[in-house]
Structure 1
Amino acid sequence: MQFAGFTLRNNLIVAPMAGVTDRPFRQLCKKMGAGLAVSEMVTSNSLLYGSEKTQRRANHDGEVEPISVQIAGADPAMMAEAARHNAERGAQIIDINMGCPAKKVCNVMAGSALMQDEPLVARILEAVVEAVPSTPVTLKFRTGWNRANKNAPLIARIAEESGIRAIAIHGRTRADQYTGEAEYDTIAHVKSRVKIPVIANGDIATPQKARQVLDHTGADGVMIGRAAQGRPWIFREIEHFLATGEELPPPLVGEIHQVCREHLDDLYAFYGEDKGVKIARKHISWYTKGLVGSAAFRHAMNQIPDIPAQLAAVDEFFGKLAETDARLRYEAELPQELAA
């Protein structure tokens, strides 16, 4: 796929998710078939550039290109500076967050709250594009602020006129948060009105749904968020299905164990033991969701304080399942907690 000046492996993109799409997760998803992975949102507040969290989020050492960094804020000048700052530190694509529905973000008029102020949207987009003329800028937003104000078509037109190279649209309004079902008619309408690439996002959890959304919207690609948590192989499943019309079999427990262990090793190396163990807990929970005995295992996992004990517990859990050569079984309901 041709996207913002880059040739991607395919049209499958990892959605930016706060607390999830760190460098280890992005690398894993790319390895498992994603064409592009967008970073967690990075603040546009220059006072926080030196913080441990911001520096870690801007760490792209060894990351498979292209490197897409999402920035968030509500001030055009600060957003422009954030774009320059991240481009100088390795970002090859700057993505602007106008999709996050979290209260702490919207309360400072950032994220999806910006969709209420279309003139401000234009000023931010123009400032960022002008600030990094040699770096493509993309935009992620929602269908609108609420269902009575679905202004995604207007935001898309502003984006195109401002020099934005591609847009991703989540099929919900800010007011919807992550409740109900995503709708794709608005995305289809936007696609019919702009010439830049349009990426569809929201509730795409199976290869069949990816095909359905692409056909319904005419979108150039799909963006996967919650469905990739604990299931990074969803990208190879979708890639295979779109290419052949055939479903890949679910991975064996032995492979899930291996993927989980490699992911944990990367997390420990990236965050250090104390923080790494804590962050690993949610990923272990996602990897084991829907497997026999996983509820009790997850409860016990939250009490384990160090790396050796955590790894031993993971090995024991998957070892017991592997004895039956069981295949991974999923629960129908996806995790609900995430940011845009």
Structure 2
Amino acid sequence: MRNVTDLNFPLCLAPMVGLTHVGLRRLIQDYMPRNATTHWPTEMLNSRRVPKENLKTTPETLRRAEESFLVPQILGNEELPISESVKRLTSEWGAAGIDINMGCPVQKALKHNYGVSLMGDVLYAARVVEYTKKHSTVPISVKLRAVGSQKTVPELIQFVKTLVDAGADWVTLHPRTAEQKRRGSSDWTQIGELKKHLTVPVIGNGDIQVAEDVFRMLNETKADKVMAGRALAARPWMMWQVGAELGFEAPIGFESLKPPQTPDEEGAEYGRCLLRLIDYCEEAFMAEAGASESITLRKIQFYIKTTHVWLEFGHSLMAKASGCKALVDLRVAVTDFFSRPQAMCARTELRQ
């Protein structure tokens, strides 16, 4: 895979801590149109830990044999752990690309000069790209945040050009500042300005909640591709909706159906997805990786905590799920909740 433009689908999933694991990827892949290809992330991986981890049983690096175009995201700033991580992920694990995190605003990353801290020093950031490129046999991407009040868009463009010169094969821009985190609106004009000035592909990320947003971002910014995070986790069938609009064939198993569209149809589909996700997580984390039931349960509860806000009465589902102590109890609670019609909202303020 030279870069993301070699793949034919305009939407991809964002790397999200606690969410972008093998179970969620499998759920979303259920809704991929036939013959559609996109790249797939992992959760954020710490380059200091990857060299010593068992990649086949560590929850963050669990993968199915059927998965392709996997692009794990790494967090790091030193050559030795980056080189060891990249070599293991490419030669042993089968990564199709490596994504460098320069957008994480959480304190745990900031105190180690990881994530968005790297955007404070262009030469430092460029060295991280150089380290990664030097030891990789696959393409390198960088995921960034927007500029803040102390910088201008031209400075962002120059910053990213320096990363491209250092070896970045494509970039993803989430145009919220580190200070904003999830608050406020993302500034899509920065994606458009970046696209005008770069020779490598640009992926736009931020405020994608429904299929319509994918096409609007593509039209307004001319981005090569769109990345969606929590809303795609909540609406895995967004892949199907986008594919249907573009004329792709329906996903396998959905040939005689149309993608859900109305609030009630989407509410019912969320319930079916959630039950499948429980099965997928149980199979991956417990049956294959030997994780405890409590760990598996917490992963599903975190998914519900993140996505329930798109359900009209999602707070009730969250309350029921939080009280469950075993997967069997969770399945009963979910089945009971969705035995009554439920509706999904098109949009939320994305602040959960």
Tell me the TM-score normalized by structure 2: 0.84
Partner of 2:276: 262
Q: Offset at 1:51?
A: 7.3
Asked if 1:336 corresponds to 2:344, the answer is no
**Helix, strand or coil: the match of 1:279?**
helix
Show the 5 A alignment for 1:310-321: 310-321=330-341
Partner of 1:304: 324
Contact kept? 2:285, 2:296, Cα under 8 Å: yes
Can you list the C-alpha shifts for 1:101-140, whole angstroms capped at 9, x where unaligned?
11111121110110001101111111111101x2111111
Asked if 1:25 corresponds to 2:24, the answer is yes
Partner of 2:252: none
Asked if 1:201 corresponds to 2:205, the answer is yes
Asked if 1:181 corresponds to 2:193, the answer is no
Can you list the C-alpha shifts for 1:133-164, whole angstroms capped at 9, x where unaligned?
x21111111122x2222443123212221222
**Helix, strand or coil: the match of 2:101?**
strand
Tell me how far apart the structure 2 counterparts of residues 241 and 198 of structure 1 sit (CA, whole Å): 22
Partner of 2:166: 162
Tell me how far apart the structure 1 counterparts of residues 68 and 5 of structure 2 sit (CA, whole Å): 9
Return 5+ residue gaps in structure 1 as ranges. none
Partner of 1:91: 95
Show the 5 A alignment for 1:132-143: 132=136, 134-143=137-146
**Helix, strand or coil: the match of 1:305?**
coil
Q: Offset at 1:334?
A: 4.7
Tell me how far apart the structure 1 counterparts of residues 232 and 296 of structure 2 sit (CA, whole Å): 20
Tell me how far apart the structure 2 counterparts of residues 185 and 292 of structure 1 sit (CA, whole Å): 31
**In structure 2, do the counterparts of structure 1 residues 101 and 139 end up closer, same or farther at CA, with 3 Å as the change threshold?**
same
Q: Offset at 1:302?
A: 0.8
Contact kept? 1:241, 1:247, Cα under 8 Å: no
Contact kept? 2:14, 2:228, Cα under 8 Å: yes
Tell me how far apart the structure 2 counterparts of residues 175 and 206 of structure 1 sit (CA, whole Å): 25
Tell me how far apart the structure 1 counterparts of residues 27 and 278 of structure 2 sit (CA, whole Å): 11
Partner of 1:38: 41
- Write the letter of the residue equivalent to 2:173: I
**In structure 2, do the counterparts of structure 1 residues 175 and 121 end up closer, same or farther at CA, with 3 Å as the change threshold?**
same
Contact kept? 1:240, 1:248, Cα under 8 Å: no
Tell me how far apart the structure 1 counterparts of residues 306 and 102 of structure 2 sit (CA, whole Å): 27
Q: 49-58 vs 116-125, which deviates more? A: 49-58
Q: Offset at 1:169?
A: 0.4
Counterpart among 62, 65, 88 of residue 68 in structure 2: 65
Q: Offset at 1:82?
A: 1.7
Tell me how far apart the structure 2 counterparts of residues 185 and 291 of structure 1 sit (CA, whole Å): 30
Partner of 1:217: 221
Contact kept? 1:211, 1:242, Cα under 8 Å: no
Counterpart among 227, 230, 233 of residue 234 in structure 2: 230
Q: Offset at 1:11?
A: 1.5
Q: How many residues align?
A: 328
- Write the letter of the residue equivalent to 1:332: R
Relative contact order: is structure 1 or structure 2 higher (C-alpha 8 Å, sep ≥ 6)?
Answer: 2
Tell me the TM-score normalized by structure 1: 0.87
Tell me how far apart the structure 2 counterparts of residues 83 and 13 of structure 1 sit (CA, whole Å): 22
Can you list the C-alpha shifts for 1:163-208, whole angstroms capped at 9, x where unaligned?
2211110011222212110001211111111111100001111222
Asked if 1:147 corresponds to 2:161, the answer is no
Return 5+ residue gaps in structure 2 as ranges. 249-257, 287-292
Can you list the C-alpha shifts for 1:312-338, whole angstroms capped at 9, x where unaligned?
1111111232xxxx6x3216315434x
- Write the letter of the residue equivalent to 1:316: D
Tell me how far apart the structure 2 counterparts of residues 308 and 51 of structure 1 sit (CA, whole Å): 29
Partner of 1:271: 285
Contact kept? 2:4, 2:170, Cα under 8 Å: no
Contact kept? 2:75, 2:100, Cα under 8 Å: yes
Can you list the C-alpha shifts for 1:81-118, whole angstroms capped at 9, x where unaligned?
22112112221211110011111111211101100011
